C-alpha cells in the first residue's frame, strides 16, 4: 500500500488562466478603486466621494417615480427592444428608431462595437490618455492597437487631448475602428465641430469613427455641439452616450448609441437579450422627459466646476480646463501621496497612474459641502514640495487619521 502511494503522479493544480483565449489572457481586470460600499458602511456620510464622476444631485424625481412604479412588474422580463425609450430618444434627437441601440451603459456598447467589427486582422486607433475602455475593447478582440500620442502638456487649448491630425494619419488600410471621446475622460479636454468635420473627411468609410459623448450634456464651449450634426454625411460615424452622468443614473446602467441602421443591425446579432433592465428603461425614459431637471443639473455642475477650479488654482494646483463633471489636476510630483492624504481625510479622488499620468489626480465635482471638504483636506499640503503641519501659534490642528478600512 505504501509503495502504491509513492508511485502516484503529483496532482496538477487547476489553472484556468492557461485556458483563456490569447486576447483575454493579456487583459487585466478593471480596477474600480477603493471598496466604496465597505467605506460607506464604515464611515457613513462623512466620506466625500469624488472619484467616479457621479452626479451629486442624483436623478430626476420623475425618474425615481418611474422606477417605483415599475417595481411590481420586475418579476417579468423587460422589453427586449426597449422600444419606448428608443422612441423617446428618436423624438429628442430627430433620428429614426432604427438608428438607435441600447446598452448596459455606453461601456457595453463600446465593447460590443469592437466585438462585432474588429478582430486580430484589424487595427483600432485611439488616443493616448483616451477613455480606458478603448484599449480594453481593442485587447479583448485581439485587434492591433494604434495608440496615437496625445497633444503636449503645454498645448494652448487641449493639453493631453486628442491630436486629430495625427490620428487621421494613423488610420491604415486595416483600420476598422477609430475611438474618440469628446469631451474626454480623464483629461476633460475637447475638440470643436470644425476639427471633427475635417477629421471625418480624411477617414475612409471602411473605418468606423466612434465618438463617445458621455459628458455631452455638460458642454457649453463655443464651437462644440455634437458629432450627430455630421451623421447624415458620414454613415461610418457612431455616437455613444450615457444616462450615468448628467442624468444621475449611474446605478441602473443605461446608455445608447446612434449609428447607421446597418451598424445597429449588426450589433443586434450579438447584443445580449434584455441587456437593459426594466428599472433602467423606465428611469431613462422619464429622465429624458424632465428637461428642467437636466438644465438644473447642468447649471449646477458647470457653476460648481468653475468655482472649484478657481479655488484649486488659487492654491497652486494646476487644473486643466474641462467640459465635464470632473477636473484633472496635474501636480509637480507623483499624485499617490496626495491621493493618500485625501483618503485619510475622508475624500476619495482618482489617481491617474493607470492612464500613464502618475502626476495627475482626477477630482469629480461634488456638492458644495464635498468640495469644501476637499479644500480643507488640502490645507497645509502645498501643490509642490512637502506637506507641512499647521503652526499651533496660528491656531492650526493636524487632523486625525481615520482607519483605512477594507
CATH assignment at residue 237: 3.40.640.10
Q: Same structural domain for residues 272 and 323?
A: no
Residue 161, pLDDT above cutoff 80:
yes
Q: Same structural domain for residues 233 and 97?
A: yes
Whole-number pLDDT of residue 29:
75
Closest CA to 245 of 235, 236, 253, 257: 253
Q: Is the dihedral of CA 229, 233, 237, 240 positive or negative?
A: positive
**Section 297-316 average pLDDT:** 96
- Is residue 199, in this structure, part of any structural domain at all? yes
Please tell me the pTM assigned to this model: 0.89
Residue 233, pLDDT above cutoff 90:
yes
How would residue 405 be classed by pLDDT, with cut points 50, 70 and 90? Answer: very low
H or E stretch at 361: strand 357-364
Closest CA to 101 of 291, 250, 270: 270
Number of domains in the chain: 2
Q: Same structural domain for residues 306 and 218?
A: no
Euclidean distance between CA atoms 143 and 203, whole angstroms: 19
- Is residue 221, in this structure, part of any structural domain at all? yes
Q: Same structural domain for residues 45 and 125?
A: no
Q: Which among 289, 310, 345 is the end of a domain?
A: 289
Residue 215, pLDDT above cutoff 80:
yes
Would you list the DSSP string of 254-286?
Answer: -EEEE--HHHHHHHHHHSPTT-S-HHHHHHHHH
Would you list the DSSP string of 89-155?
Answer: HHHHHT--GGGEEEESHHHHHHHHHHHHH--TTSEEEEETT--HHHHHHHHHTTPEEEEEPPPPTT-
Q: Residues 91-149: pLDDT tens digits? A: 999 999 999 999 999 999 999 999 999 999 999 999 999 999 999 999 999 999 999 99
Residue 8, Ramachandran bin (φ over 0: left; ψ between -120 and 50: alpha; else beta): beta
- Is residue 380, in this structure, part of any structural domain at all? yes
CATH assignment at residue 361: 3.90.1150.10
Q: Same structural domain for residues 255 and 311?
A: no
Over the chain, what is the mean pLDDT? Answer: 90
Q: Same structural domain for residues 241 and 93?
A: yes
Closest CA to 245 of 192, 185, 329: 185
- Is residue 243, in this structure, part of any structural domain at all? yes
Q: Same structural domain for residues 149 and 268?
A: yes
**Domain span including residue 322:** 31-53+292-394
- Is residue 15, in this structure, part of any structural domain at all? no
Amino acid at each position: 500500500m505504501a509503495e502504491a502511494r509513492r508511485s502516484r503522479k503529483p496532482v496538477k493544480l487547476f489553472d484556468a488562466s492557461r485556458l483563456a483565449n490569447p486576447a483575454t489572457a493579456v487583459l487585466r481586470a478593471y480596477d474600480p478603486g477603493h471598496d466604496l460600499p465597505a467605506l460607506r458602511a464604515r464611515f457613513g456620510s462623512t466620506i466625500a466621494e469624488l472619484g467616479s464622476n457621479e452626479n451629486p444631485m442624483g436623478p430626476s424625481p420623475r425618474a425615481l417615480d418611474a422606477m417605483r412604479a415599475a417595481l411590481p412588474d420586475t418579476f417579468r422580463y423587460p422589453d427586449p427592444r426597449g422600444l419606448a425609450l428608443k422612441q423617446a430618444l428618436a423624438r429628442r434627437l430627430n433620428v429614426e428608431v432604427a438608428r438607435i441601440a441600447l446598452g448596459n451603459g455606453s461601456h457595453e456598447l463600446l465593447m460590443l462595437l469592437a466585438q462585432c467589427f474588429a478582430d486580430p486582422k484589424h487595427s483600432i486607433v485611439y488616443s493616448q490618455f483616451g477613455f480606458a475602455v478603448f484599449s480594453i475593447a481593442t485587447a479583448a478582440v485581439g485587434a492591433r492597437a494604434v495608440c496615437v500620442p496625445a497633444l503636449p502638456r503645454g498645448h494652448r487649448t487641449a493639453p493631453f487631448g486628442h491630436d486629430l491630425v495625427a490620428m487621421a494619419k494613423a488610420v491604415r488600410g486595416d483600420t476598422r475602428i477609430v475611438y474618440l471621446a469628446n469631451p474626454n475622460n480623464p483629461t476633460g479636454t475637447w475638440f470643436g465641430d470644425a476639427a471633427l468635420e475635417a477629421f471625418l473627411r480624411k477617414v475612409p468609410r471602411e473605418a468606423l469613427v466612434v465618438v463617445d459623448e458621455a459628458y455631452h450634456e455638460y458642454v457649453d464651449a463655443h464651437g462644440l455641439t455634437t458629432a450627430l450634426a455630421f451623421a447624415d454625411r458620414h454613415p461610418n460615424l457612431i455616437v455613444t452616450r450615457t444616462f450615468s452622468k448628467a442624468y444621475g443614473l449611474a446605478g441602473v446602467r443605461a446608455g445608447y448609441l446612434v449609428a447607421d441602421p446597418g451598424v445597429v443591425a449588426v450589433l443586434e446579432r450579438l447584443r445580449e437579450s434584455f441587456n437593459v433592465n426594466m428599472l433602467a428603461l423606465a428611469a431613462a425614459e422619464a429622465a429624458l422627459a424632465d428637461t428642467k431637471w437636466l438644465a438644473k443639473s447642468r447649471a449646477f455642475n458647470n457653476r460648481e466646476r468653475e468655482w472649484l477650479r478657481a479655488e484649486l488654482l488659487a492654491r497652486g494646483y494646476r487644473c486643466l480646463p474641462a467640459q465635464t463633471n470632473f477636473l484633472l489636476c496635474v501636480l509637480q510630483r507623483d499624485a499617490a501621496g496626495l491621493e493618500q492624504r485625501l483618503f485619510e481625510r475622508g475624500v476619495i479622488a482618482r489617481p491617474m497612474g493607470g492612464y500613464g499620468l502618475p502626476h495627475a489626480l482626477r477630482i469629480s465635482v461634488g456638492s458644495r459641502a464635498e468640495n469644501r471638504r476637499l479644500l480643507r483636506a488640502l490645507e497645509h499640503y502645498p501643490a509642490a514640495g512637502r506637506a507641512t503641519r499647521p503652526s499651533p501659534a496660528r491656531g492650526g490642528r493636524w487632523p486625525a487619521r481615520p482607519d483605512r478600512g477594507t
